[in-house]
A and B are shown apart, each in its own frame.
Chain A
Amino acid sequence: MGLKSKDLVGIKALDAADIEQILDTAAGFKDVLGRDIKKVPALRGKTTVNLFYEPSTRTRTSFELAAKRLSTDVINFSVSTSSVVKGESLRDTALTIQALGADFIVVRHSCSGVAHFLADNLASSVLNAGDGTNEHPTQALLDLFTIREKKGVIRGLEVAIVGDILHSRVAKSNIYALKKMGAGVRLIGPPTLVPDVLKDLDVEIYSDMEKGLKDADIVMMLRIQVERQGKGFFPTTVEYFRNWGLTPERLARAKKSALVMHPGPMNRGVEIASDVADGMRSVILDQVTNGLAVRMAVLYLLAGVKE
């Protein structure tokens, strides 16, 4: 048992068994997190470096806490105070961090492919915390964990992902993960943000949200970057909400038991109505809690690969 690679760069490189194993391991850690004493000594003496080239609160905090719960030392490498501003290359920065003895490097970067690049160039385990518009694998894993926890199964579910698919690393990782686990995937949004070519991944594409949500088991909303407004992707956030905002009326098109998910941070009134975000079917805060367990599982399993 164990993962096959020293790194977690994306869901693309995993198979269903890998995903299953991570989710099972995460379930064990979720039990730990429910205890009074939430820390285990599993990775004592190891070092985790959070290398974040892009601002992030929730993912960085989640990784930091996950690493601490496993008793690793954690360093946050902050870009603003680093030599990056002096023009140091990505590779040199990463090699420097590795030379300091980092066992795990958690990286977030605005360019796609950076996690691959570091994984290829470093002996440390590289965990992708989001690279450009490529992948955000731990987010997809925690989403799957949440779905499995609430629904019991993933196979056979109909999952609607709504919003800016083109620029969303969360959506990409979720598409790959859900397909590998046997779920049906529908992508909903304006044609400017949902490329037709994705049909080749055996997913359904809708620009009409009412049609796309029909009888869905899961409604996964994506954050709309307000900066896309006025760049020709859609006219205004008002019109966006009119067409693709998740309202109680629209949610009624999905199954009665449908869950509402969002990777955060939410834009209330842009992609999701507050009534839905705070409603009974929302599992948005469960996602955050589960993120910790999933990230612990990934760190733990990758440590096993290296040993």
Chain B
Amino acid sequence: MKIVIKNGRVIDPSQGIDGVCDLVIEDGKIKEVKSEKSKGKSQGHENSRGTKEIDASGKLVFPGLVDLHVHLREPGYEYKETIRTGTAAAVKGGITSVCCMPNTNPVNDNSSVTEFILKKAASEGACRVFPIGAITKGQKGEELAEMSIMHEAGCIAFSDDGRPVVDSLMMRRAMEYSRILKVPLISHCEDLALSAGGVMHEGLLSVTLGLKGIPSQAEEVMVARDIALAELTGGRLHIAHVSTGGSVALIRSAKKRGIADITAETCPHYFSITEEAVGNYDANAKVNPPLRSRKDVEAIKRGLSDGTIDVIATDHAPHHRDEKLGEFDFAPSGISGLETSLGLSMRLVDEGVLTYSGLVEKMALRPSGIIGIDRGTLRPGAEADVVVVDCAGECKVDAGEFLSKGKNTPFDGWTLSAKAVLTISLGRIHEWE
């Protein structure tokens, strides 16, 4: 089957394209991007039988987005999310590839769990799923998991995510060992002793709310350690969900010195809102690392703009409604982010932090490069992962309408100026009003 997406403004940094073009898809692959000039030549092919035409006038056409940091919760926590609901939510958010974190039950620390996830994704998933394996067995930080067997089974990166590897020697070994696979170790940087018991950013607000604070330094201490270990080992380090200005500075300086192979991501909530969102104990604003100060938000934006931060990922962390309803201290951390990520990130373009191409780089091209998949591009021959974005109207975030089971978002009721109106994923066209 042939699909032609006509007259949209196509943004594809992998080919340096930013202009009104027709995107031609054939048999699930990108066929070509036809600019105004070349259009005349190939006319006559169009409107032939079996061709679906989609009018994208006034809209943006991006390669499908690639999300490096997602919690799909299956197996084990299906009451929070499943591979079916999580991937449906992704597609609605314009995301066509998700990398899922290993903190399931059982933990994805062996190839059978990896295989289960991929099998489930193949039968129920609305988009491609790329599992991230655990660095250590049971995420316990004690023994290396069978990284190369899991890599063979389909893991594209390794991380102990929310339970960072405390033991520096173990982290050193993991970084050294991972070199045989040329895959990144994704580090959730948190000094667990320094953050112990904390539930929000440490500052005046945490003191006056009577909530235990997590200082920025709990993240920065570990960012510094992991950069040092990456320098020592030559391993590939990807720093997850950067939330503080201090972390941005550490990463910037390490990149400038060229001492190590480092990439970094942040999430929409770290450049969209501050600790103030906790308000009067709104557990939907409880997330780890916590929402930081206004200064940190500005530093994150500068980091995105100058290339210090390579990637925007969601850290989609769905939870059941009941878990977020009650004592703030007891609520689990996390924000359901798949369906607001694009809209929130597009604000960076409105604010002049990123160009459209820059945005697509952070949300599709770079993440693909980091995990070594041939996606995030509209190059001829690539998988036809495409998203059409409407940025002309206004749309209200309504958590009740999320396809994700997790309705936990501090952005409920926000008005955003952009959203995905059509996503092509796994050969299927998904359209919304």
Q: Mark A residues whose CB is within 8 Å of B.
A: 12, 89-91, 109, 111-114, 116-117, 120, 131-135, 166, 169, 172, 195, 197-198, 200-201
Q: Which of B79-87, B205-213, B226-234 contacts A (4 or more CB under 8 A)?
A: B205-213
In the complex, which residues 260-294 of chain B have their Cβ closer than 8 Å to any Cβ of chain A?
A: 280-281
Q: Which residues of A contact B329 (CB under 8 A)?
A: 111-113, 132
Taken together as a complex, chains A and B put the C-alpha atoms of A133 and B328 apart, in Å, by 13
A87 CB, min distance to chain B CBs, angstroms: 12
Inter-chain contact A91/B210, CB cutoff 8 Å:
no
A166 touches B207 (CB 8 A): yes
* Minimal beta-carbon separation of A98 from chain B (angstroms): 16
The answer on a CB contact under 8 Å between B208 and A172 is: yes
When distances are taken between beta carbons in the complex, the residues of chain A under 8 Å from B210 are: 112-113, 131-135, 169, 172
Q: Which of B100-108, B319-327, B339-347, B397-405 contacts A (4 or more CB under 8 A)?
A: B319-327
Tell me, in angstroms, the Cα distance from A116 to B328 when the chains sit together: 11
Range, interface on chain B: 10 to 19
If A91-B326, A117-B327 touch, whether A112 touches B207 (CB-CB below 8 Å) is no
Give the residues in chain A near B327, CB-CB below 8 Å.
Answer: 90, 109, 111, 113-114, 117
Chain A hits for B322, CB < 8 A:
89
Interface centre among A91, A112, A114 (most CB of B within 10 A): A112
Most buried by A among B209, B322, B327: B327
Chain B residues with CB below 8 A from A116, complex form: 280-281
| A135 to B: closest C-beta gap in Å | 7
Q: Report the minimal beta-carbon distance from A265 to chain B, rounded to whole angstroms.
A: 20
Picked from B207, B211, B280, B326, the residue with its CB within 8 Å of the CB of A90 is B326
Residue of B nearest to A116 (CB): B280
Within 8 A of A (CB), among B168-214: 203-204, 207-211
- Other than the given A112-B211, A134-B211, 13 more pairs (CB < 8 A) read A89-B325, A90-B327, A111-B327, A111-B328, A112-B210, A112-B281, A112-B329, A113-B281, A117-B327, A120-B280, A132-B329, A172-B207, A201-B208
B414 contacts partner chain A, Cβ-Cβ < 8 Å = no
Assess whether B330 is interfacial by the CB under 8 Å rule: yes
Contact A112:B204 (CB < 8 A) given known A133-B210, A172-B210: no
A198 touches B326 (CB 8 A): no
Q: How far, in Å, is A20 (CB) from chain B's closest CB?
A: 23
Query: Inside 8 A of A195's CB, which chain B residues have their CB?
Result: 207
Residue of A nearest to B278 (CB): A113
> What are 10 A-B contacts with C-beta separation under 8 Å?
A89-B325, A91-B326, A112-B328, A113-B327, A116-B280, A116-B281, A117-B328, A169-B210, A201-B204, A201-B208
Structural contact, A197 and B207, CB atoms closer than 8 A: yes
